[in-house]
Amino acid sequence: MAIVSLKMEVRYTLVGDGPFDCALMPVIRWALLQHAQVTSIAGEFAEPHRLPKQANGLAPRVMAAIGLYPCNLLFVHRDTEGQGRQQRLTEIHSALNGNRIPYVPVIPIRMTEAWLLIAEDAIRSASGNPNGQIPLNLPSIVRLEARPDPKRDLHQALRTASMLTGRQLKRFDERTSARRVAELITDYSPLRALSAFRNFEADLTTILATL
């Protein structure tokens, strides 16, 4: 695997579809460390509530993020949502509107949550019951991109792993726990079995070579 040596600080910003996409921050940092030797890495998530509404289109959101979160590398996340990778790539390219900032598209075939279903240990720890043994019935990696609702899969796995019942289960915050899963995963290399993640890494290495 080629590693690019950069005598610089990588300051990146992630623009997502919604607030949960902050879970991609650990994924991006892991990938950067896999493919680049840099002075340091600093990343910021463009908080959706500070950006124009999605109804206004992607371009205003991207431009606002660049202004609010200055960076030298931009990551733009879009789920395909049945539109296809090429259409999303065109959408992201158009949104940059000639801006010369280097950017990397992040385009899972389903949802961000699908990329977090690879680590049973992280899910158990995030549920608050790291030593639990109850089966979680997680989908195999090769089936992740075909799952109709990865968010439901992840939330259900967390609830099952917690082994909580009754009122405690009703109070269980699966959204916060789901974000914690991303922070606890230390190795995202299993995702290389997915075409979407391979595309992401290929786009990243291409851009890193130009910095």
Measure the CA–CA gap between 206 and 105, rounded to whole angstroms. 12
For residue 118, what pLDDT is reported? 95
Measure the CA–CA gap between 166 and 24, rounded to whole angstroms. 32
For residue 1, what pLDDT is reported? 61
For residue 202, what pLDDT is reported? 95
Mean pLDDT in runs of 10 for the chain (211 residues)? 78 94 96 90 95 90 96 92 86 90 93 93 98 95 89 96 96 94 96 94 94 84
Sequence-distant (≥ 6) Cβ neighbours of residue 77 within 8 angstroms: 14, 15, 16, 17, 21, 24, 105, 106, 107, 108, 112
Measure the CA–CA gap between 143 and 124, rounded to whole angstroms. 21
Q: In the numeric block, which tokens belong to residue 95?
A: 């949104």
The radius of gyration of the chain from alpha carbons, rounded to an integer in Å, stands at 18
Within 10 angstroms of residue 84's Cβ, the number of other Cβ atoms is 12
Nearest partner of 5 among 144, 196, 211, judged by Cα: 211
Whether residue 28 contacts residue 53, with contact meaning beta carbons closer than 8 Å, is answered with: no
Q: In the numeric block, which tokens belong to residue 115?
A: 């990329």
Nearest partner of 151 among 117, 106, 196, judged by Cα: 117
Q: Provide the whole-model pTM.
A: 0.92
Measure the CA–CA gap between 130 and 204, rounded to whole angstroms. 33
Structural domains for the chain: 4-109+194-208 (3.40.50), 112-184 (no CATH)
For residue 55, what pLDDT is reported? 76
First to last CA, the chain: 18
For residue 54, what pLDDT is reported? 84
